[in-house]
Amino acid sequence: MRQGFNRETMGMFKTLMLATALTVAVASGAQAACAFRNETPIRMLAASFPAWKAATDAMAECGNFQAELDLQFRDKQPAAMAAQPARYHIAGLAVNSLVPLLDQGTVRPLDDLVAKYGKDLLPNQLIRIDGKVMAIAILVNAQHLMYREDIYKQLGLSEPKTYDELLTQLETIKKSGLVQYPLGGTYRAGWDLATEFVNLYFGYGGAFIGAGNVPTVNNTSGQRTLEMMKKLTAYMDPEYLASDAPYVAKQFQQGKIAVSNLWATRAGAMDDPKESTVVGKVVMAAAPAAVPGGKPATTIWWDGFAIAKNIPDAEADTAFRVALEGIDGEMVRANNDLAVWLSKDYKPGRAARGAAESAQGGATPYPATTAMGLMQTALAQNLPGFFTGAQTAEQTLARIEAAYTTAARERGLLR
Amino acid sequence: MKTRTLLWFVAPSVALMLVFIALPLASVFWQSFFVTRTLFQEVTVESCQPGFLTQTCTTELRSQPILRDGKPVTERVFVGWENYRLVMRPDALVAAFSPGGGGWADVRQIDFWRALRFTLTFTLVTLPLVIGLGLVIALALNTAIASLRGPIIFVSLLPFIITPVVGALSIRWLFIGDGILTAALRWLTGENVIMFAQGWTIEVLLLTYRVWHVAPFAFIVFYAALQTVNQDTLESAVVDGASRFERLRYVILPHLAPFMVFVALIHLMDAYRVFDEIVGFSAQAHHISLQWLTYSLLMPDGSGSRAIGRASASSMLTMIGIVALLIPLLVRTWRDHHQKG
């Protein structure tokens, strides 16, 4: 990404101006970005969004580094990491994609590597499972409210605190005809739609899994969630079942929608003059609550990385150092607004407000467990039928529980 | 040819078919009766996640796989017809048609039957269209002047050359959101046309795309066959005063019949395994095919495991479906062959 490179070089020049050994640094050129020269080929698989692009670009500066950025990384990762040797040294993760890797024992404890190289890591970056550091978080992510401030001012609307409030505002926006569709939703059939359900369902106080791993989603919270989602879809692009996060972000950038509950990692792009026609007009805010006075109806995620177990220790050592180079202060300063970075060099800006306020408002951390992984899949496969009108809310929730039960029995979670 | 020589000639191909078709098939059949479970244990684990600038650590009872030598311990269980039962849901089927059941609306909520409904519609509706369109192009080309034939053949074959997924994706982009063609349709009709918002428009797109993609295959087969029509018969038909339509009906079509059976055979086999279009058009919310069902069972779920048993059952059922569809055509071919021989 050319623009990323420019920002990086800009950031680099600023650093250089401050550096005392100015002449030495200039002589070493672009290579100065990485503290060491990597000779071992290192491969990584991660999700595809701007923050990972920035981090992996910074890792690539060490040389011999190859990153595969793919939104379908969840499907590829478990098998690739279980291979002998692992197909990737570094696994880029979101909170829930760590679970399959832990379950299959394909990532290694990082305590010794952290002790050796991790002096710049913040304590809350260390993901500890049973006392051992199993992954390093690099950013916090959440779906939160983004809205067009200019449209809100023009129509005399104020920041919505609850979804019911948002619904009345959407009606006003729709009547005003200022945008093509008032609301953008990442309702693509599958994983995206399931995550939207999870966010709202927690907002209504629901729980997915009960003691003994039984499903507990067929209840009034589930029904209220589905009802609210259906109401919201009336204000969306009618093709919402095919809209994922990049698509909704683009609609926002092109000024086609006024409000969305979108990932924090897409916030920075709203102010990118090369892509966006709404620079400076989009305000980030906490996700609305589902019930009056409730916590923001969203889940807090983290993204980070883990190191493969099925690789030689020396390669793991190098991979860890390369990965740390990718999230060093230099990269964070150059790409400050692309994400809510977990770094002491991060300055929370305009783009971070939504995630920060959602988290401070008490939004639920995404509950990453094996059972929840099965639940997320059951949701992904059975929710679309509700929105196409093929099934009622009760039928949908019953189907989700049935699909979960089948999968959990096969998996060995339910006996 | 001596039988012995013949056997030597076909031996390599038979051997390859055994290794690459028969054995995998037997293995899939075998696997459709098993389920592999991971052994879990309940452990109290403290896990720490980053919150906003602070860390939240929780101690909770978690189900964790038992690891031995760094690998999860699994058990393979024979489950009989259970996987088939879970895929086909005969109980739900019976309930749907019992008094008080929802009938067809309930059946369509079971993935397998929903997929079968779409797959059959897709296969049986595209078949006559592909054969008809291929025939029309072939006949038209046969009467075109010779100098135009080369370019027309080239252009007509283009859809067939394009990789199905690539073709489907590009068509999708023409129609989704404010795509060029959707915008054109809006301009033409004055209505707000939205192609990907409801099931039937997507189904029309899927079917049309397949016809557009495969018709060139039918066309090229028929065009080649047209070159071998007995010219003497045609001329005597003209002498006897047969009209253009009668010549087509009584001379050309009977000659093309075996070729139509051939095209039908190939098309049924291909169309029943429809998959690329579902992915290319992201149609899975509205329509899924049997092949897509197998694929979705095979994809790792949120916990990283695959439903291999159910996927095997679903692919065995798909195969049985193809064979059932092909039987009438195969019987016909076999009879023709024996009558001639």
Note whether A337 and A198 are same-domain residues. no
Identify whether B1 is part of a domain: no
CATH number at B168 reads 1.10.3720.10
For A:200-229, CB contacts with B below 8 A are 213
Residue A375 at interface with chain B, using a CB cutoff of 8 Å: yes
Biggest CA–CA distance in chain A, Å, is 70
- Shortest distance between the Cα of B50 and any Cα of chain A, in A, equals 5
| 8 Å CB contact between A260 and A248 | yes
> Token match 């071998």: residue?
B228
Residue A407 at interface with chain B, using a CB cutoff of 8 Å: yes
| 8 Å CB contact between A118 and A252 | no
Residue B199 at interface with chain A, using a CB cutoff of 8 Å: yes
Closest partner residue to B285 among A371, A384, A413, by Cβ?
A384
Identify whether B212 is part of a domain: yes
Q: Which residues of A touch B284 (CB under 8 A)?
A: 189-190, 384
Q: Do B71 and A104 touch (CB under 8 A)?
A: yes
Counting the structural domains of chain A, the total is: 2
d(CA B281, CA B165): 9
Q: Which amino acid is at B247?
A: R
Q: What percent of chain A has pLDDT over 90?
A: 72
Note whether A91 and A219 are same-domain residues. no
- Shortest distance between the Cα of A192 and any Cα of chain B, in A, equals 12
Residue B305 at interface with chain A, using a CB cutoff of 8 Å: yes
Closest partner residue to A78 among B64, B194, B300, by Cβ?
B300
Q: Which domain holds residue B221?
A: 124-299+323-336
Note whether A234 and A367 are same-domain residues. yes
d(CA A106, CA A135): 12
Q: Do B285 and A241 touch (CB under 8 A)?
A: yes
Q: Do A373 and B307 touch (CB under 8 A)?
A: no
Closest partner residue to B282 among A104, A105, A242, by Cβ?
A242
Residue B286 at interface with chain A, using a CB cutoff of 8 Å: yes
Band of residue A10 on the pLDDT scale cut at 50, 70, 90: very low
Q: Do B285 and A125 touch (CB under 8 A)?
A: no
Can you give the pLDDT of all 341 residues of chain B as single tens digits?
A: 788 999 999 999 999 999 999 999 999 999 999 999 989 888 888 887 776 667 778 888 888 888 888 788 989 999 999 999 999 999 888 888 888 777 888 888 889 999 999 999 999 999 999 999 999 999 999 888 888 888 888 888 888 888 888 888 988 888 887 788 888 888 888 887 788 878 888 999 999 999 999 999 999 999 999 999 888 888 888 888 888 888 888 888 999 999 999 999 999 999 999 999 998 888 888 899 999 999 999 988 888 888 999 999 999 999 999 999 999 888 988 888 787 65
The per-residue pLDDT for B53 is 62
Distance of alpha carbon A168 from the chain centroid: 28
Per-residue pLDDT, averaged over A268-279, amounts to 91
> Token match 């005003």: residue?
A176
| 8 Å CB contact between A340 and A352 | yes
Residues paired with residue B71 on neighbouring β-strands, in sequence order: B68
Counting the structural domains of chain B, the total is: 1
Note whether A137 and A149 are same-domain residues. no
The per-residue pLDDT for B147 is 85
**Residue B48, φ and ψ in degrees, nearest 5:** -115, 130
Q: Which domain holds residue A280?
A: 142-299+361-411
* Sign of the alpha-carbon dihedral angle for A97, A98, A103, A106: positive
Per-residue pLDDT, averaged over A302-320, amounts to 95
The per-residue pLDDT for B340 is 61
Distance of alpha carbon A387 from the chain centroid: 24
Band of residue A14 on the pLDDT scale cut at 50, 70, 90: very low
Q: Own/partner pairs for A29-32, CB < 8 Å, 24+ apart?
A: A30/A61, A31/A61
Identify whether A126 is part of a domain: yes
Identify whether B140 is part of a domain: yes
ipTM above 0.90, yes or no: no
For A:151-210, CB contacts with B below 8 A are 188-190
Note whether A254 and A325 are same-domain residues. no
- Shortest distance between the Cα of A273 and any Cα of chain B, in A, equals 22
Q: Do B45 and A309 touch (CB under 8 A)?
A: no
Q: Do A413 and B54 touch (CB under 8 A)?
A: no
Q: Do B303 and A125 touch (CB under 8 A)?
A: no
d(CA A322, CA A339): 20
For A:302-361, CB contacts with B below 8 A are 302, 309, 340, 342, 355-356, 359-360
Closest partner residue to B49 among A77, A127, A412, by Cβ?
A127
Note whether A77 and A167 are same-domain residues. no
- Find out whether the peptide bond into A85 is cis, omega within 30 degrees of 0: yes
Note whether A235 and A104 are same-domain residues. no
Identify whether B98 is part of a domain: no
Identify whether A25 is part of a domain: no
Q: What percent of chain A has pLDDT over 70?
A: 92
Closest partner residue to A137 among B47, B50, B299, by Cβ?
B50
Closest partner residue to A124 among B54, B108, B286, by Cβ?
B54
Note whether A382 and A243 are same-domain residues. yes
Q: Do A239 and B176 touch (CB under 8 A)?
A: yes
- Shortest distance between the Cα of A17 and any Cα of chain B, in A, equals 30
Task: Count chain A–chain B contacts defined by CB atoms under 8 A.
Answer: 166
Q: Would strands A282-285 and A181-184 be described as parallel, antiparallel, or unpaired?
A: unpaired
CATH number at A162 reads 3.40.190.10
Angle of helix A163-176 relative to helix A220-233, nearest 10 degrees? 10
* Sign of the alpha-carbon dihedral angle for B175, B179, B184, B187: positive
CB neighbour list of residue B198: distance below 8 Å, 6 or more residues apart = A388, B286
Q: Is the pLDDT of residue A58 over 70?
A: yes
Higher pLDDT, A269 or A199: A199
Q: Own/partner pairs for A55-59, CB < 8 Å, 24+ apart?
A: A55/A138, A55/A326, A55/A327, A55/A331, A56/A92, A56/A326, A57/A1, A57/A4, A57/A5, A57/A8, A57/A326, A58/A8, A58/A33, A58/A34, A58/A325, A58/A326, A58/A327, A58/A328, A58/A330, A58/A331, A59/A322, A59/A323, A59/A325, A59/A326
Note whether A252 and A388 are same-domain residues. yes
Closest partner residue to A75 among B39, B70, B299, by Cβ?
B299
CA atoms within a 13 Å half-sphere pointing along the CA-CB vector of A172:
15
Among the ranges given (A268-282, A332-346, B80-94, B98-112), the one the predictor scored with the smallest mean pLDDT: B98-112
**Residue A310, φ and ψ in degrees, nearest 5:** -80, 50
Per-residue pLDDT, averaged over A233-245, amounts to 92
Note whether A148 and A132 are same-domain residues. no
Distances from the Cα of A148 to the Cαs of A240, A271, A350, A359, A387, in angstroms?
20, 12, 14, 22, 27
Q: Is the pLDDT of residue A77 over 90?
A: yes
Note whether A250 and A341 are same-domain residues. no
Q: Do A130 and B54 touch (CB under 8 A)?
A: no
Note whether A277 and A344 are same-domain residues. no
**Of A338, A356, A374, at which residue does a domain stop?**
A356
Distance of alpha carbon B112 from the chain centroid: 14
Nearest residue of chain B to residue A375 (CA atoms): B302
Identify whether B264 is part of a domain: yes
DSSP assignment letter at A125 = G
Q: Is the pLDDT of residue A9 over 50?
A: no
Q: Do A104 and B197 touch (CB under 8 A)?
A: no
d(CA A185, CA A323): 33
**Of A356, A371, A390, at which residue does a domain stop?**
A356
Q: Looking at B144-275, list the stretches that DSSP marks H as alpha helix, in order from N- to C-terminal side.
A: 146-161, 164-175, 180-189, 199-226, 231-239, 244-247, 253-272
Identify whether B160 is part of a domain: yes
Residues paired with residue B78 on neighbouring β-strands, in sequence order: B34
Closest partner residue to A395 among B47, B52, B109, by Cβ?
B109
Identify whether B263 is part of a domain: yes
Q: Is the pLDDT of residue A23 over 50?
A: no
Identify whether B289 is part of a domain: yes
The per-residue pLDDT for A1 is 35
For A:93-122, CB contacts with B below 8 A are 95-96, 99-105
